[in-house]
Protein backbone atom coordinates (compact mmCIF):
# COMPACT_ATOMS: atom_id res chain seq x y z
CA UNK A 1 0.00 0.00 0.00
CA UNK A 2 1.29 3.43 -0.92
CA UNK A 3 0.88 6.22 1.61
CA UNK A 4 0.42 9.93 0.83
CA UNK A 5 3.78 11.73 0.71
CA UNK A 6 2.85 13.96 3.64
CA UNK A 7 1.71 11.14 5.92
CA UNK A 8 4.99 10.95 7.85
CA UNK A 9 4.91 14.69 8.44
CA UNK A 10 1.33 14.49 9.68
CA UNK A 11 2.17 11.55 11.93
CA UNK A 12 5.13 13.44 13.40
CA UNK A 13 3.00 16.53 14.00
CA UNK A 14 0.32 14.44 15.72
CA UNK A 15 2.91 12.86 18.02
CA UNK A 16 4.41 16.29 18.67
CA UNK A 17 1.10 17.92 19.61
CA UNK A 18 -0.07 15.01 21.77
CA UNK A 19 3.37 14.80 23.33
CA UNK A 20 3.36 18.50 24.13
CA UNK A 21 0.06 18.16 25.99
CA UNK A 22 1.21 15.03 27.82
CA UNK A 23 4.51 16.63 28.86
CA UNK A 24 2.78 19.80 30.05
CA UNK A 25 0.43 17.67 32.15
CA UNK A 26 2.84 15.08 33.52
CA UNK A 27 6.26 16.66 33.29
CA UNK A 28 9.21 15.12 31.46
CA UNK A 29 9.85 12.47 34.11
CA UNK A 30 6.17 11.76 34.70
CA UNK A 31 5.55 9.89 31.46
CA UNK A 32 7.55 7.46 29.34
CA UNK A 33 7.71 6.75 25.63
CA UNK A 34 4.90 4.18 25.84
CA UNK A 35 2.65 6.75 27.50
CA UNK A 36 3.58 9.43 24.99
CA UNK A 37 2.88 7.06 22.11
CA UNK A 38 -0.47 6.09 23.63
CA UNK A 39 -1.39 9.75 24.07
CA UNK A 40 -0.78 10.24 20.34
CA UNK A 41 -2.67 7.08 19.43
CA UNK A 42 0.37 5.40 17.88
CA UNK A 43 2.63 2.49 18.73
CA UNK A 44 5.98 2.91 20.44
CA UNK A 45 7.56 1.81 17.16
CA UNK A 46 5.83 4.67 15.38
CA UNK A 47 7.10 7.05 18.04
CA UNK A 48 10.69 5.90 17.52
CA UNK A 49 10.35 6.18 13.75
CA UNK A 50 9.77 9.92 14.25
CA UNK A 51 11.83 10.70 17.35
CA UNK A 52 14.95 8.75 18.37
CA UNK A 53 14.20 9.23 22.08
CA UNK A 54 12.08 11.20 24.54
CA UNK A 55 14.56 14.06 24.74
CA UNK A 56 14.28 14.56 20.99
CA UNK A 57 10.53 14.94 21.45
CA UNK A 58 11.15 17.52 24.19
CA UNK A 59 13.35 19.45 21.76
CA UNK A 60 10.61 19.29 19.14
CA UNK A 61 8.01 20.50 21.63
CA UNK A 62 10.18 23.47 22.57
CA UNK A 63 10.76 24.32 18.91
CA UNK A 64 7.06 24.11 18.10
CA UNK A 65 5.48 25.60 21.20
CA UNK A 66 7.69 28.06 23.08
CA UNK A 67 6.35 31.56 22.57
CA UNK A 68 3.49 30.33 20.37
CA UNK A 69 0.94 31.56 19.67
CA UNK A 70 2.18 35.11 19.86
CA UNK A 71 1.15 38.25 18.02
CA UNK A 72 3.24 39.00 14.94
CA UNK A 73 5.40 42.01 15.69
CA UNK A 74 4.74 43.45 12.19
CA UNK A 75 0.96 43.04 12.16
CA UNK A 76 -1.20 46.17 12.58
CA UNK A 77 -0.32 49.56 14.03
CA UNK A 78 1.92 49.88 17.07
CA UNK A 79 -1.12 50.74 19.19
CA UNK A 80 -2.98 47.65 17.92
CA UNK A 81 0.03 45.43 18.58
CA UNK A 82 0.33 46.76 22.13
CA UNK A 83 -3.35 46.14 22.73
CA UNK A 84 -2.96 42.57 21.47
CA UNK A 85 0.06 42.13 23.72
CA UNK A 86 -1.93 43.38 26.68
CA UNK A 87 -4.71 40.88 25.92
CA UNK A 88 -2.17 38.09 25.44
CA UNK A 89 -0.65 38.89 28.83
CA UNK A 90 -4.08 38.94 30.47
CA UNK A 91 -4.81 35.50 29.02
CA UNK A 92 -1.39 34.21 30.03
CA UNK A 93 -1.16 35.54 33.58
CA UNK A 94 -4.59 34.27 34.57
CA UNK A 95 -6.35 31.80 36.81
CA UNK A 96 -7.46 29.85 33.74
CA UNK A 97 -3.88 29.34 32.59
CA UNK A 98 -2.84 28.38 36.11
CA UNK A 99 -5.60 25.77 36.32
CA UNK A 100 -5.10 24.28 32.83
CA UNK A 101 -1.45 23.35 32.30
CA UNK A 102 -2.28 20.86 29.54
CA UNK A 103 -3.62 23.72 27.40
CA UNK A 104 -1.07 26.31 28.41
CA UNK A 105 2.46 27.44 27.72
CA UNK A 106 5.42 25.09 27.91
CA UNK A 107 7.62 27.60 29.76
CA UNK A 108 6.13 27.23 33.26
CA UNK A 109 5.78 23.45 32.93
CA UNK A 110 8.96 22.39 31.14
CA UNK A 111 11.68 24.99 31.87
CA UNK A 112 13.08 22.96 34.78
CA UNK A 113 13.16 19.85 32.58
CA UNK A 114 14.95 21.77 29.83
CA UNK A 115 17.57 22.90 32.36
CA UNK A 116 18.38 19.21 33.01
CA UNK A 117 18.40 18.26 29.31
CA UNK A 118 21.27 18.11 26.86
CA UNK A 119 22.73 20.96 24.81
CA UNK A 120 20.42 20.59 21.75
CA UNK A 121 17.29 21.03 23.88
CA UNK A 122 18.76 23.96 25.79
CA UNK A 123 19.90 25.62 22.58
CA UNK A 124 16.41 25.26 21.09
CA UNK A 125 15.01 26.86 24.26
CA UNK A 126 17.53 29.72 24.09
CA UNK A 127 16.78 30.39 20.43
CA UNK A 128 13.01 30.38 20.85
CA UNK A 129 13.22 32.51 24.00
CA UNK A 130 15.34 35.12 22.24
CA UNK A 131 12.83 35.19 19.37
CA UNK A 132 10.02 35.79 21.85
CA UNK A 133 11.94 38.59 23.58
CA UNK A 134 12.72 40.24 20.24
CA UNK A 135 9.07 40.12 19.17
CA UNK A 136 7.97 41.65 22.45
CA UNK A 137 10.72 44.31 22.49
CA UNK A 138 9.60 45.55 19.04
CA UNK A 139 6.19 46.39 20.49
CA UNK A 140 7.50 48.32 23.49
CA UNK A 141 8.73 51.91 23.32
CA UNK A 142 11.96 53.58 24.41
CA UNK A 143 15.64 52.84 23.69
CA UNK A 144 16.40 49.37 22.35
CA UNK A 145 18.35 48.21 25.41
CA UNK A 146 15.54 49.34 27.71
CA UNK A 147 12.90 47.61 25.59
CA UNK A 148 14.87 44.36 25.80
CA UNK A 149 15.28 44.72 29.58
CA UNK A 150 11.55 45.23 30.03
CA UNK A 151 10.72 42.33 27.68
CA UNK A 152 12.87 39.96 29.75
CA UNK A 153 11.23 41.26 32.93
CA UNK A 154 7.73 40.74 31.51
CA UNK A 155 8.49 37.17 30.42
CA UNK A 156 10.07 36.37 33.79
CA UNK A 157 6.92 37.59 35.53
CA UNK A 158 4.69 35.63 33.15
CA UNK A 159 6.47 32.34 33.72
CA UNK A 160 7.19 32.88 37.41
CA UNK A 161 3.65 33.89 38.30
CA UNK A 162 2.14 30.79 36.72
CA UNK A 163 4.79 28.43 38.12
CA UNK A 164 4.51 29.82 41.65
CA UNK A 165 0.72 29.99 41.72
CA UNK A 166 0.45 26.40 40.43
CA UNK A 167 2.69 25.19 43.23
CA UNK A 168 0.46 26.81 45.86
CA UNK A 169 -2.91 25.53 47.03
CA UNK A 170 -5.84 27.30 45.42
CA UNK A 171 -6.72 30.37 47.42
CA UNK A 172 -6.13 34.04 48.00
CA UNK A 173 -2.32 33.89 47.91
CA UNK A 174 -2.27 32.02 44.60
CA UNK A 175 -4.68 34.56 43.14
CA UNK A 176 -2.55 37.45 44.38
CA UNK A 177 0.55 36.00 42.72
CA UNK A 178 -1.29 36.11 39.39
CA UNK A 179 -3.05 39.44 39.87
CA UNK A 180 0.00 41.39 41.05
CA UNK A 181 2.27 39.91 38.38
CA UNK A 182 -0.19 40.89 35.64
CA UNK A 183 -0.47 44.41 37.02
CA UNK A 184 3.32 44.86 37.14
CA UNK A 185 3.97 43.22 33.76
CA UNK A 186 1.39 45.43 32.07
CA UNK A 187 2.88 48.53 33.68
CA UNK A 188 6.14 47.84 31.83
CA UNK A 189 4.56 48.28 28.39
CA UNK A 190 5.88 51.81 27.95
CA UNK A 191 8.01 54.42 29.64
CA UNK A 192 5.08 56.37 31.05
CA UNK A 193 4.75 54.95 34.54
CA UNK A 194 1.84 52.56 34.33
CA UNK A 195 0.38 54.31 31.29
CA UNK A 196 -0.72 51.19 29.48
CA UNK A 197 -2.00 49.62 32.67
CA UNK A 198 -4.35 52.59 33.08
CA UNK A 199 -5.39 52.40 29.42
CA UNK A 200 -3.85 55.80 28.56
**Confidence check: pLDDT of 72 > 80:** no
Q: Is the peptide bond before 68 cis (omega within 30 degrees of 0)?
A: no
SS3 of 95-138: HHHHHCHHHCCHHHHHHHHHHCCCHHHHHHHHHHHHHHHHHHHH
Residues 45, 138, single domain; the answer is no
pTM, entire model: 0.85
The more confidently predicted of residues 136 and 196 is: 136
**Confidence check: pLDDT of 158 > 50:** yes
Residues 91, 143, single domain; the answer is yes
Within a domain: 46: yes
Residues 24, 96, single domain; the answer is no
Long-range contacts of 41-46 (CB under 8 A, 24+ apart): 41/14, 42/11, 42/14, 42/15, 46/11, 46/15
Residues 94, 172, single domain; the answer is yes
- As a whole number, mean pLDDT of residues 121-148 equals 92
Rounded Cα distance between 137 and 174, Å, is 28
Rounded Cα distance between 97 and 92, Å, is 6
Classify each residue of 74-109 as buried b or exposed e, where b means 16 or more C-beta atoms within 10 Å of its C-beta: eeeeeeebbbbbbeebeebbbeebbeebeebbbbbb
Are 62 and 124 in contact by the 8 Å Cβ rule? The answer is yes
Task: Specify the pLDDT at position 181.
Answer: 94
> What is the tally of structural domains in the chain?
2
- As a whole number, mean pLDDT of residues 62-88 equals 82
Confidence of residue 157 (pLDDT cuts 50, 70, 90): very high
Task: Specify the pLDDT at position 190.
Answer: 65
**Confidence check: pLDDT of 27 > 50:** yes
Within a domain: 1: no
Residues 88, 171, single domain; the answer is yes
Are 196 and 189 in contact by the 8 Å Cβ rule? The answer is yes
Residues 91, 156, single domain; the answer is yes
Which residue range forms the structural domain that includes residue 34? 7-55
Amino acid sequence: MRYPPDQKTKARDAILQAGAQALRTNGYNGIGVDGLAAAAGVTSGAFYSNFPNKEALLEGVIEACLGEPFIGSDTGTLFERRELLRQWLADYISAYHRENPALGCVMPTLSADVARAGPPVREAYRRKMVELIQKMAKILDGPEADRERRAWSIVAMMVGAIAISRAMPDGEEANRAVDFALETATSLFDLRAGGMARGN
